[in-house]
């Protein structure tokens, strides 16, 4: 595995509820709400925090230097602070950065803050500017694409692929309905599957409105501490075992001749290899995955988990990604339910850590969760994969 | 290899315009401040008892000690003192006045923090730190901090 100077534990987690709008509070106040929950959860005060890492999407609220604005609520006043904005992966990058800052020995206790108030800005206006002005800016469809749907229908047949994507979507909604903080909780049932397949409005190709993630407001805060401090301050720290970040340039493979290894597949392959994990479905007890749409979520399970052919469809069809299945996926309801973008990729390791602690709430997995996997995703197929552990007992490879 | 910077024939420049429409939710505390300014011509602050500080503009939580402040409103004076200033000497569409005009930090009596606003009724050459000023309210509301139109010398 990647050489770590010292172990790092998650000692506090705080989240707001997620919703389409929050008129009652401004950005700093929303940040403050999650900060207070996290400090309460860790049973510490601001005095214990050495450094704050802050992140949201560039320009989504049309605010320059939001980390400075939010000092009114973030607790960063007089402390070291840095801002990280890596698009959709921001929340996961915050976790990786906080882990690195503590592991390196620079700080003992780091608080990471991810947030978004999507209703205050114009998401697509911001996102479309990532594309090259000469080749793609005037052709691309922002975050809405149907490439994966098309490829899955070609590979597995139209009917099976469409059914699987909608089953995945309904499963996510069932999980979201358990999560009191989730934004969209529709109460979908499996007997609506065919109806939804045919009547949900089409966005691009076979990507339909019901498949797509929400636009949410909300904030998530996680507090990280060195092994020594974590053990002294917290009775059940969750350990960050390892993480990997994989990037790809923005033009995908449009000029290439061969399909390259997908970033998610590469991330999983490398991470599992260096940690000696040969069967991730067997090893992990939960996977909180950044799934921007039902099509992507389903397809990416194959990539991350190093599955072959239709293994991921079979696992889904057999109920193995359910809360009581072999590898529960997104007990929180995932990104199709709640998507406050700068916080979204932090919600994945945060929810995974809560599953390990056993206090995730109504969406808690019934059997013991010892090993958790969490992913972050961002524009042009950036991928972050994080491993969390209940015990400090893993073997160095 | 020689690189020529002079010949730019047929080098295309793509012209763009980023449109980022947005809104800002002021929250309960910020909204109450603007409403008092608009309807009653009053400047409100909040006091942190723990830090013994009165903040203007008000905020829901003290950024130093995280105490909840939204129930500790203080009505402040419409008079105050210039703690610092500058003179804006250029013109642009987003600016509230034609240049030259004075942009000052004004600490109203009873507050511990100054906030920025326009000072008028005095030549830009004559403004000084420590000068006493009073609030002049706008005749028409915009539901913004500009409902306080400017400060002028006492
Ligand atoms: Zn205070």
Q: What is the pLDDT of residues A60-101, one digit of tens each?
A: 888 889 999 999 999 999 999 999 999 999 999 999 999 999
Q: Ligand 1: distance of its center to the CA of A349 in Å?
A: 32
Q: Residue B73: which of B42, B39, B27 has the closest Cα?
A: B42
pLDDT reported for residue A254: 55
Q: What average pLDDT does this structure show over B28-42? A: 96
ipTM field? 0.79
Compute the mean pLDDT over every residue in chain B, rounded to the nearest whole number.
94
- What residues contact residue B105 under an 8 Å CB cut-off, 6+ apart? B82, B83, B84, B85, B114, B115, B116
pLDDT at A146 over 70: yes
Is the pLDDT confidence value at B11 over 90?
no
Report chain A's terminal Cα–Cα distance, integer Å. 6
CATH architecture of the domain formed by A8-124+215-227: 3-Layer(aba) Sandwich (3.40)
Instruction: Give residues with Cβ within 8 angstroms of A67, minimum separation 6.
Output: A54, A74, A76, A81, A82, A83
DSSP result, A99-162: HHHHHTTS-SEEEEEEEEEGGGS-HHHHHGGGS-TTTTTTT--TT---HHHHHHHHHH-HHHHH
Helix (H) or strand (E) holding A312: helix A311-317
CB pair distance less than 8 Å for B60 and A73: yes
> Is the minimum CB–CB distance between B23 and chain A shorter than 8 Å?
yes
**Structure confidence by residue, pLDDT tens digits, B97-107:** 999 999 999 99
Model confidence at A2, pLDDT cuts 50, 70, 90, reads low
Say what the pTM is.
Answer: 0.92
Asked whether the predicted pLDDT for residue A50 surpasses 90, the reply is yes
What's the pLDDT score for residue A1?
A: 53
Asked if A78 reaches chain B (Cβ–Cβ under 8 Å), the answer is yes
Alpha-carbon separation of residue A153 from A112, A180, A213, B52 (angstroms): 40, 34, 21, 66
**Is B100 an interface residue toward A (CB < 8 Å)?**
no
Q: Does B21 touch chain A (CB under 8 A)?
A: yes
pLDDT value for A255 = 56
pLDDT digits (tens, 9 = 90+) for A344-395: 999 999 999 999 999 999 999 999 999 999 999 998 789 999 999 999 999 8
B113–chain A Cβ distance below 8 A for any pair: no
pLDDT of residue B143: 93
Which has the minimum average pLDDT: A137-141, A186-190, B64-68? Answer: A137-141
**Region A215-234 average pLDDT:** 97
Report the pLDDT averaged over residues A263-272: 97
Residue spans per domain, chain A: 8-124+215-227
B28 CB neighbours in chain A (<8 A) are 24-25
Could you tell me the two tokens for A57?
A: 């999407």
Question: What pLDDT score was predicted for residue B3?
Answer: 77
Q: Using alpha carbons only, what angle is made at residue A251 by residues A250 and A252, rounded to the nearest 5 degrees?
A: 95
Cα of A46 vs centre of ligand 1, distance in Å, is: 12
Crossing angle of the two packed helices A263-274 and A294-304, in degrees rounded to 10? 40
CA separation for the pair B48, B61 (Å, rounded): 9
Which pLDDT score, from 0 to 100, does residue A11 have?
98
Whether the CB-CB separation of A48 and A109 falls below 8 Å is answered with yes
- Name the more confident of B17 and A167: A167
Q: At what angle do helices A341-357 and A90-103 cross, to 10 degrees?
A: 60
Over the stretch A5-39, which tens digit does the pLDDT of each residue have?
999 999 999 999 999 988 899 999 999 999 999 99
Cβ-based contacts of B56 with chain A (< 8 Å):
none
Q: How would residue A249 be classed by pLDDT, with cut points 50, 70 and 90?
A: low
Whole-number Å distance between alpha carbons of A258 and A377 = 23
pLDDT-based confidence at residue A274 (cuts at 50, 70, 90): very high
Cα of B63 vs centre of ligand 1, distance in Å, is 7
- Report which secondary-structure segment, H or E, holds A180: none
Considering chain A, what is the average pLDDT of its residues? 93
pLDDT-based confidence at residue A251 (cuts at 50, 70, 90): low
Q: Which residues of A91-117 are buried (b: 16+ CB within 10 A; e: fewer)?
A: bbbbbbbbbbbbbeeebbbbbbbbbbb
Q: Which chain B residues have a beta carbon less than 8 Å from that of A78?
A: 64
The span from the CA of B22 to the CA of B154, in Å, is 39
pLDDT of residue A382: 92
């Amino acid at each position: 595995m990647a050489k770590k100077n010292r172990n790092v534990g998650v000692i506090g987690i705080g989240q707001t509820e997620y919703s389409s709008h929050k008129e009652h509070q401004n950005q700093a106040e929303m940040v403050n709400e999650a900060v207070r929950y996290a400090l309460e959860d860790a049973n510490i005060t601001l005095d214990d925090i050495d450094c704050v890492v802050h992140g949201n999407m560039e320009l989504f609220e049309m605010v320059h230097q939001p980390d400075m604005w939010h000092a009114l609520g973030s607790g960063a006043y007089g402390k070291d602070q840095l801002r990280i904005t890596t698009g959709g992966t921001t929340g996961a990058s915050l976790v990786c950065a906080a882990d690195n800052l503590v592991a390196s020995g620079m700080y003992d206790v780091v608080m990471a803050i991810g947030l978004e108030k999507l209703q205050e800005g114009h998401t697509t206006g911001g996102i479309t500017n990532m594309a090259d002005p000469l080749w793609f800016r005037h052709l691309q469809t922002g975050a809405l694409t149907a490439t994966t749907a098309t490829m899955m229908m070609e590979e597995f047949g139209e009917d099976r692929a469409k059914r699987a994507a909608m089953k995945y979507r309904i499963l996510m909604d069932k999980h979201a309905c358990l999560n009191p903080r989730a934004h969209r909780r529709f109460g979908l049932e499996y007997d609506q599957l065919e109806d939804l397949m045919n009547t949900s409005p089409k966005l691009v190709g076979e990507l339909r409105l019901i498949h797509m993630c929400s636009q949410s407001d909300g904030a998530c805060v996680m507090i990280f501490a060195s092994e020594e401090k974590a053990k002294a301050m917290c009775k059940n720290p969750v350990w960050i075992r390892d993480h990997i970040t994989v990037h790809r340039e923005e033009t995908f493979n449009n000029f290439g001749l061969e399909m390259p290894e997908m970033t998610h597949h590469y991330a999983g392959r490398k991470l599992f290899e260096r940690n000696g994990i040969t069967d991730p479905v067997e090893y992990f007890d939960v996977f909180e995955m950044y799934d921007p749409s039902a099509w992507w979520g389903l397809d990416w399970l194959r990539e991350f988990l190093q599955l072959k052919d239709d293994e991921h469809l079979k696992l889904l069809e057999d109920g193995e990604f359910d809360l009581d299945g072999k590898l529960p996926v997104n007990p929180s309801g995932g990104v199709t339910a709640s998507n406050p973008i700068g916080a979204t990729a932090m919600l994945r390791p945060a929810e995974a850590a809560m599953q390990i602690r056993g206090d995730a709430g109504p969406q808690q997995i019934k059997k013991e969760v010892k090993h958790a996997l969490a992913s972050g995703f961002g524009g042009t197929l950036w991928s972050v994969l994080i491993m969390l552990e209940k015990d400090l007992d893993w073997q160095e490879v | 290899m020689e690189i020529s910077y002079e010949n730019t024939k047929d080098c295309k420049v793509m012209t763009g315009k980023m449109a980022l429409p947005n809104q800002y939710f002021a929250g309960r505390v910020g909204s109450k401040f603007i409403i008092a300014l608009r309807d009653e011509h009053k400047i409100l602050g909040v006091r942190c008892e723990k830090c013994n500080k009165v903040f203007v503009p008000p905020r829901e939580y003290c950024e130093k000690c995280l105490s909840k402040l939204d129930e500790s409103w203080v009505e402040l004076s419409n008079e105050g003192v210039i703690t610092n200033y500058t003179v804006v000497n250029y013109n642009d569409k987003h600016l509230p006045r034609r240049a030259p005009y004075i942009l000052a930090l004004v600490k109203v009596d009873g507050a511990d923090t100054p906030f920025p606003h326009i000072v008028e009724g005095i030549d830009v050459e004559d403004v000084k730190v420590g000068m006493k000023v009073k609030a002049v309210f706008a005749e028409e509301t915009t539901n913004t901090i500009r409902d306080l139109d400017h400060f002028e010398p006492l």
